Amino acid sequence: MIVDSIDPNGYISHRLYRRHCVFEDATYIKDLSLLGRDLAKTLIIDNLYESFLSQPDNGILAKSWYDDMADTELFVLLPFLSGLVEDRVPDIRVVLRQIMNSTQIEAGAEVEVEAEPEEEEDEADSDGEGEIGFETDEF
């Protein structure tokens, strides 16, 4: 799997696929609130924006890879994702909001965090339910 090759140390603890989706209004949605994890440290990478409609600030929209054997989209994201980990970003949503409001993440993107008021933790972040997700404790 591609994720295995970009994460040989196993920082990515979970992955969501279509079978983990909530089907709503003819759309498959990966609702991260069902995971029972800290959404400040949880992100989703998907080729369909609809997949992360429930938490758009946690999502990175990737190009589709279907029939593209030369696809390198996840490798392009690797420096950015590594920066999130190395900088111990307290809330990835702040960084993703800043970047996605201005441009797509490109190879070599720097992680820069501007101060933003702290948000209260959602009840769903700490309810302990769910066993699926895409998260690293290294942020």
- Residue 6 belongs to some domain of the structure: no
- Residue 1 belongs to some domain of the structure: no
- Residue 124 belongs to some domain of the structure: no
Question: CATH number for the domain including 65?
Answer: 3.40.50.1000
Task: Write down the residue that tokens 């990737």 correspond to.
Answer: 62
- Residue 11 belongs to some domain of the structure: no
- Residue 16 belongs to some domain of the structure: no
Which pLDDT score is estimated for 77?
A: 83
Q: Of the candidates 105, 112, 19, which has an alpha carbon nearest to the alpha carbon of residue 61?
A: 105
- Residue 2 belongs to some domain of the structure: no
Residues in contact with 105: Cβ distance below 8 Å, sequence separation at least 6, in sequence order: 60, 76, 77, 80, 99
Split into its structural domains, the chain has a count of 1
Which pLDDT score is estimated for 100?
A: 67
The count of residues in the chain is 139
- Residue 25 belongs to some domain of the structure: yes
- Quote the domain boundaries for residue 96: 21-113
Asked if 60 and 45 count as a contact pair (C-beta separation under 8 A), the reply is yes
**DSSP bridge partners of 135:** 42
> For the chain, what percentages of helix, strand and coil (3-state, to nearest 5) are there?
35, 10, 55
- Residue 131 belongs to some domain of the structure: no
- Print pLDDT tens along the chain (139 aa): 667 777 788 877 777 777 888 998 898 999 999 888 899 999 888 888 888 989 999 998 887 777 777 777 778 888 888 888 888 999 999 999 888 665 545 444 454 544 444 444 444 343 333 333 344 444 3
Which pLDDT score is estimated for 39?
A: 95
